[in-house]
Amino acid sequence: MARRLILGVLSLAIAASMWLPILHLLYSPRQDGSGGGNGAGPEAQLLVKYNLRLWTDPELREKEMRKMRASNAEWDFMGRTFQVCAFANLALREPGRKKVLLEVMDRIIDETLKIEKESGMYYFLMPYARSGDYRVAPPRSLFVDGEISLMLAHRLIVEEKPAYGKILKERVDLMIGRMKQSPVLSAESYPDECWTFCNSVALAAVRMADFLYGSDHSAFLREWVATAKKKLVDPSTGLLVSSYSLDGTWKDGPEGSSIWMASHSLEIVDERFAVDQYARAKKELAGSFLGFGYSREWPASRLGPADIDSGPIIPFLKISPGASGLALLGASAFGDGQYVGQLKASLNFAAFPSKKGGGLTYRAANQVGDAVILYSALQGPVWKKVKGGVCQ
């Protein structure tokens, strides 16, 4: 009996040693031709179909929105942002779909602006936004202003719409006016709480507005980066911290749920700095196990508390689902094909992809997770156009 048990265990061990190292190959993505300025590949098209359906099927939309807002009102808002950004990139990849995509982008933007007007910025913020006073009056959230500006700018790069252009210019002026009231040139998303994620998104929107309308905020953008290098970079890792007070006092150190998107946003603000931040994030946060990629939320030297953005931290490897999703965006943006493949293998293995109504969604994610994955698959053409500096 004992001999059979030992032989059984040894057989399982030998088998595991053979198939575990190649398990990831079953889940690794096929090359789908979605890079560069080409059309979206087959998997991306399935993601597009599901995300478009969210705005053409009221019942599905209501169900997903209720689910998201029950967890975090920010996710409802961020899902809209990543969808608009994704659809704008798709419109540049596939001009034949521009008309339909513009209609959906306008629907998302118009509904978002309507909600903001009727319910105020707090509709898209977590409850603690009401727990204190904003240092800069009147109260405004850069999280809301920055992402609305990013949505507008993406849509306008596909095709001009004067009403949206007017709103974008006004938002840019508001954001810069408030950012200049801080010694670290940053504006609050929550009372006396600035986030690198939100400020980098705002900077990208400012850069896009300059591209669209010939304004010039390059001096401000350079000053922000120079200030951040001096006052907002963790010396042990060289990474931007994730949150800080209006005066620049750090609250949280570097976080994966912030730095991957921040580095992508900074690509059109200061590309050299953005590349440096991505490389440092890859060194400090990225990992793979048996061919499956992941991201930690914090560098090993600066562990922090789990929150709703990081999601539940998986023990041993310290994997953060939220950071890993945004790492896919970072890896796609910086052309890190190997890491993209590893992260997609994890996504296909652990996020339970599901084909619904001919589209693709991930059951272990949520609507904002699906939108981030969609944007990761399609991003590129808009940033390329802005970097080229020649407006239509």
pLDDT digits (tens, 9 = 90+) for 329-383: 999 999 999 999 999 999 988 878 888 777 888 877 778 899 999 999 999 999 9
User: 35-61 pLDDT, tens per residue?
Assistant: 444 667 888 999 999 999 989 888 877
Percent of the chain's residues with pLDDT above 90: 69
pLDDT, residue 390, reads: 59
- What tokens does 103 get? 């209609």
Which of the residues in the chain have pLDDT under 70?
Answer: 1-39, 302-317, 390-392
pLDDT, residue 6, reads: 53
pLDDT, residue 338, reads: 96
pLDDT, residue 301, reads: 74
pLDDT, residue 188, reads: 98
pLDDT, residue 360, reads: 87
